[in-house]
Amino acid sequence: MAGRLIRLPLGVLVALYAAALAAPIALALAYGAPERGWLRELAGALAMAGFAMLLAEFVLSGRFRAVSDRAGIDATMRFHQLAARVLLVLLVLHPLLYMAPRLFASERLQSGVAAWMLLLLLVPLAIWRDRLPIRYEAWRLSHGLGAAAIAAAGLHHTLQVGTWSGEPWLAGYWIAMSALALLSLAYVYALKPLLQLRHPYRVVSNRPVAQRMWEVTLEPERGAALDFAPGQFVWLNLGHSPFNLVEHPFSISSAPADRPRIAFIIKESGDFTRRIGTIAPGTRAYLDGPHGSFSTAGRPLAPIAFIAGGVGFAPIIGMLRELAAQRHAGPLRVVYGNRIEAQVLYREETEALKARLDLRVDYVFADLTPEVLAERLDMPERAAWLYFVCGPTPMMDSVARALHSLGVPRQRIISERFSYA
């Protein structure tokens, strides 16, 4: 149902992940290890743990709502990125603990060497993706294909030369995990687009709502509209086949109560978005989502403060609209920062919401410094409020630090970053 989000604590996700990488080591110990020296045993354990982590990465990066909606996609993707760094270290150390010259000279180890070298390329390219002179879509395709090649070569290497590769339970574990990883990839690149083909949307309006800001509104061509919670986001594909990788994450600015229409605020900034004003009504669109846990839905009742910067007001107006539709009675505060007053979104509508909500709105045309926030957030017991923060990443980091300095606990600050593979 819309408005209900079930969240799995990050600790549970970490525990499941740890169990996946510990399972092959436990199976190997159960079979009994041959006597071959502690260094070689350590090298084998690092390889098993690292390869299990690599295969589990496919699930973490696949936009599976069963995982991301519960842990939060922001936390899930950050964990995915951190785990990639850890597994890189484990798998780089694995051959180095053996005699590297012998490894590169042995024909039996060529698939392992190939996987090792591909991994040395894949992870750094992902870490420094934003600095690469290539389009995101090209990087994403190469990242997916490269990961699949590493998984296939790694499986071949494991089954061919692994010390315990002949043991049926352990071999079965590696085959099952590799199949799950590759099925995850097939779901993302083949099955999901097929499902989207059955549920297309069309642009019904595209209008400017502030300087360089456009409101793009969609409706489903047939069937019900997407079921979402206020504040969530989707990957939006405008004017392309769902098999095309040209899609971008945008927060939903409309409320669930506004369905079947679903609206987005898109700012002209570069590449795809600089042409957003040319998107004509009737353009076909596809949605992948909803995703994210940046929502008032499912959270304990508490006074709420929204802190937005620029186009970061888009999910917040969606939450305000839904709270008004639900006749929310609790106190609400909005601090909305913009360097340019002409880029303020929905000012008249926001002011009108004061008649339906216990709402105070402060517009700030300067940086949201600790002093500014202390002045605007002068509520009693402000440490007990929930704070939703959305805007450019530097702004969100700065506001989080300012709120901490004002005594707001970290767990009362909700934010989400669009940095996803």
Q: Which domain CATH number covers 393?
A: 3.40.50.80
Q: Which of 291, 313, 338 corresponds to the end of one domain?
A: 291
Same domain, 338 and 274: no
Sign of CA dihedral 10, 14, 19, 24: positive
- Residue pLDDT tens, the chain, 421 long: 344 444 556 667 678 777 887 888 788 777 665 556 667 777 778 888 888 888 888 887 767 776 666 666 777 777 788 888 888 888 878 777 665 545 555 566 678 778 878 888 888 888 787 777 777 778 888 888 888 888 888 888 888 876 666 678 888 888 998 999 889 888 888 999 999 999 999 999 999 999 999 999 999 999 899 999 999 999 999 989 999 888 888 999 999 999 999 999 999 886 677 788 889 999 999 999 898 888 988 887 789 999 999 999 999 999 999 999 999 989 999 999 998 999 999 999 999 999 999 999 999 998 898 899 999 998 888 889 999 999 988 999 999 999 999 999 998 999 887 654 4
Name residue 249's beta-bridge partners.
235
| DSSP bridge partners of 215 | 207, 265
pLDDT at position 334, please? 96
pLDDT for the residue numbered 348 = 94
**pLDDT given for residue 70 in this prediction:** 61
Task: Provide the pLDDT for residue 2.
Answer: 41
> Where a domain ends, among 291, 315, 331?
291
Take residue 180 and report the two structure tokens written for it.
Answer: 């799950």
| Shared-domain flag, residues 108 and 130 | yes
Looking at the fold, whether 142 and 172 belong to one and the same domain comes out as: yes
What's the predicted TM-score (pTM) here? 0.79
* Long-range contact pairs involving 406-412 (C-beta distance under 8 Å, separation at least 24): 406/370, 406/373, 406/374, 406/377, 406/382, 407/382, 407/383, 408/382, 408/383, 409/383, 412/383, 412/384, 412/385, 412/386, 412/387
C-alpha–C-alpha distance, residues 212 and 311, integer Å: 10
Q: d(Cα 412, Cα 415) in Å, to the nearest integer?
A: 10
**Of 163, 195, 227, which marks where a domain is finished?**
195
**Confidence (pLDDT) at 288:** 92
Helix (H, G, I), strand (E, B) or coil at 337: strand
Same domain as 390, residue 367: yes
Which stretches does DSSP call E strand in 271-412?
284-291, 304-309, 331-337, 358-364, 386-390
Dihedral of CA 164/169/172/174: which sign?
Answer: negative
Place of tokens 């180890």: 109
Residues 360 and 311 grouped into a single domain: yes
Q: Where are the beta strands (DSSP E) in 260-385?
A: 262-267, 284-291, 304-309, 331-337, 358-364
DSSP 111: H
- Name the token pair of 393: 């990443």
Are 147 and 227 in the same domain?
no
The total domain count for the chain is 3
Residues of the domain holding 64: 10-195
Indicate whether 260 and 399 sit together in one domain.
no
